[in-house]
Amino acid sequence: MKLLEPGEELDGFVIEECLHSGGMAHIYRVHYADGRRDPGFPMVMKVPRMTPGDGAENIVSFEVEHQIMQVLTGSHVPRFVAAGDLTNVPYLVMEYVPGQTLDHWLEQEAPQSVESIAHLGAAMAHALHSLHKQNAVHLDLKPANVLIRPDGSAVLLDFGLSCHAHYPDLLAEQLRKAVGSPTWISPEQVVGVRGDPRSDIFALGVMLYELATGKTPFGTPQTDGGLRQRLWMDPRPPRMLRPDLPEWLQEVLLRCLEPEAESRYPSAAHLAFDLTHPEQVKVTERGRKLEGTGFWVHFKRWLRAAGRQYQPSPLPAQQVDDVPIVMVAVPHKDASDATLYSLRQAVGRSLGIRPGARLACVTVISSGESSASSNVNSETQVHRRYLTMLRQWAQPLNLSNHQTSYHVLESGDVAQAIVRYAEGNDVSMIVMGAATHGVQMQRFVATVPIKVAMDAPCTVILVKQSLPFDALVDRQAQARVERDAPF
């Protein structure tokens, strides 16, 4: 199909300049032709290449993207406008999003700072989490398909190789080979397993590795044998290539690039959490090592990979729900033993049925508590005191299978601080104490739990306060009544 010319009209859209001419599609600016009001944002038209030399992938990818874009919502994907019929001229019209692709940062000569790498990675992880919650997996993440807006948020582009759990996977049905871009494709995609959200985490890890070191972790393989090496090989530690990188960042990068999906981050929300809270990252041998993996270790992995059977992936949204980020709001002032005990019991029950979930223990102090201190050291001591309180509160819990972090927030509005923390960290569940005021009082006074429950972006569990010996006392009293009752 020839290039469309500026001024040409197609199905009520006027073609403007061509913004991009790639191997699979052309992208044009467009506007409505008949005077209709534009949808409130600039638009582009994506037209797949369909020359005799192009493969079936172009048409199949167009069908996939058409199918998926109509059901995706949120600020991390372009808004869908219209689509053309395959029998005439296939096209997709969508929102034009201003910004720069990740290639812009990779093309710079100076290496990116740790802060920039963490910011870009967290923005991409938040976008991925939004996508996965909608039961879609991108499966073709690469620098050209990630757009960073001027405000620093990320937008994901090009869903031609993606899959959605509620729709047929046309690429899996029609193309019997690994589908993806060789530099960024995950090990399970290499052997034909599609739909696991942790495949996107692997691709994100590849991009972060390149941002940090200037090199891709697995090169640019051109053969099936080259692709399969990532089933058992891990890349050189980033700190071998760039010694100034902190251990926590290497820990994050190498965890993203684990050959087995089960060893990576369980969800993009967990990855975003570590990138935005580096002081909470637990550094293991993975983050400390300065030498590459030896031959015999790789050989043993190769033997295991040769006989490994990759299981079908879970629903993306189910994977996210199974390993949530659980936040518990622990009061530090006027908190009774009943409140602290009840919160601990509720958190223990929630984590017990969700192996791998992350626990964020949060308390909110007023700004005056730290600003009243006369110097920085005193402010630090205030925070340390409350962090110690949080750790002591969590100590009785069995947290061996859960990453746990502790946070002291400063705010004059406790409810607003809790809600903002939940929004910024993709929290799936908030556990907090129920108000001690009566129902009549709550009609006139909006308590902190009520405010949080009204405004939170996630599930809120309000815990009734009780101690175990209260029930014991009640049972003993009832036993005495029954014992003393006349026959």
What integer pLDDT is reported at residue 86 of this predicted model? Answer: 76
Domain with CATH 3.40.50.620 in the chain: 324-470
For residues 139 and 185, give the distance between their C-alpha atoms in angstroms, rounded to a whole number: 8
Residue 64 CA, distance from chain mean position: 23
Q: 53 pLDDT exceeds 70?
A: no
pLDDT at residue 440 greater than cutoff 50: no
Check if CATH label 3.40.50.300 holds for domain 324-470.
no
Give pLDDT tens digits for 281-313: 999 999 999 887 777 777 777 777 766 666 666
Alpha helices in 42-113 (DSSP H): 57-69, 103-106
> Taking the domain 100-317, which CATH number applies?
1.10.510.10
Residue 469 has a pLDDT of: 55
Q: Which string of DSSP letters, residue by residue, matches 230-280?
A: GGT--PPPHHHH-TTS-HHHHHHHHHHT-SSGGGS-SSHHHHHHHHH-GGG
How far is 354 from 347, CA to CA, in rounded Å?
11
Q: Report whether pLDDT(438) > 50.
A: no
In whole numbers, what is the pLDDT of the chain averaged over residues?
Answer: 86
Q: Which of 43-47, 196-200, 220-224 has the lowest mean pLDDT?
A: 220-224
What does the pLDDT look like over 377-408, one tens digit per residue?
666 888 899 999 999 999 999 888 899 999 99
More confident residue, 351 or 302: 351
The Cα 181–Cα 190 span in angstroms is 10
Q: Where does the chain hold its CATH 3.30.200.20 domain(s)?
A: 9-95
* Distance between CA atoms of residues 265 and 256, nearest Å: 6
Most confidently modeled of 164-178, 201-215, 297-311, 421-435? 201-215
As annotated, the residues of the chain forming the CATH 1.10.510.10 domain(s) are 100-317
- Find how far residue 38's CA is from the centre of its chain: 32
Query: What is the model's pLDDT at position 487?
Result: 47
> DSSP labels for 352-410?
HTSTT-EEEEEEEE-HHHHHTSSSHHHHHHHHHHHHHHHHHHHTTS--TTS-EEEEEEE
pLDDT for 61 equals 85
Domain 9-95 architecture: 2-Layer Sandwich (3.30)
| Amino acid identity at 264 | R
- Give me the DSSP letters along 172-224: HHH--S--S-TTT--HHHHTT----HHHHHHHHHHHHHHHHHSS-TT----SH
Judge whether residue 45 has pLDDT over 90: yes
Residue 319 has pLDDT above 50, yes or no: yes
